[in-house]
Amino acid sequence: MDKCLRPHHGMCFQFYEGKGYSKDFTDHMGRVIKEMENAPEQKITLTVSTDLVCSNCPNNEENKCNSFGQVKRYDEGVLQACGLEDGESISYENFIKVVKEKVIDTGVRKKICGDCGWNYICSKKEAN
């Protein structure tokens, strides 16, 4: 069975540096990223809903994101920019590659999620 991943997490993973909402969240996200990177051929299912990262997020209330409107917009922006669809199955490796090529390398990331509280991290890394 494929693991579910929110499309906008394809951007977050590429800029992640161990900062987050809480130690529990950051430890969990770090483990998820490492697991995905260790099995890049693994299939994931893109979902505009809570995913394996969200399980340790303080914004996850009874398996629903309390920032749903904002993160849904991020997810839909990534899907549109990448030509992907909600529910689509893709290898983790190909997903990360297409997000880098179609969102990050083109400068679209800031248009998609420039209002995110963690934007300062991504913007700093993009500038380098």
Domain range list for the chain: 3-127
Banded pLDDT at 104 (limits 50, 70, 90) = very high
Looking at the DSSP bridge assignments, the partners of residue 44 are 3, 90
User: Cα–chain-centroid distance for residue 63?
Assistant: 17
Q: Which of 29, 25, 27, 24 is nearest to 12 (CA)?
A: 29
- Among the residue ranges 20-34, 41-55, 79-93, 107-121, the one predicted with the least confidence is 20-34
Percent of residues, the chain, with pLDDT higher than 70: 99
In this model, does residue 32 exceed pLDDT 90?
yes
What mean pLDDT is reported for the chain? 90
First CA to last CA across the chain, in angstroms?
38
Give the single-character DSSP code of 49.
S
pTM: 0.91
Question: Quick one: average pLDDT of 69-90?
Answer: 96
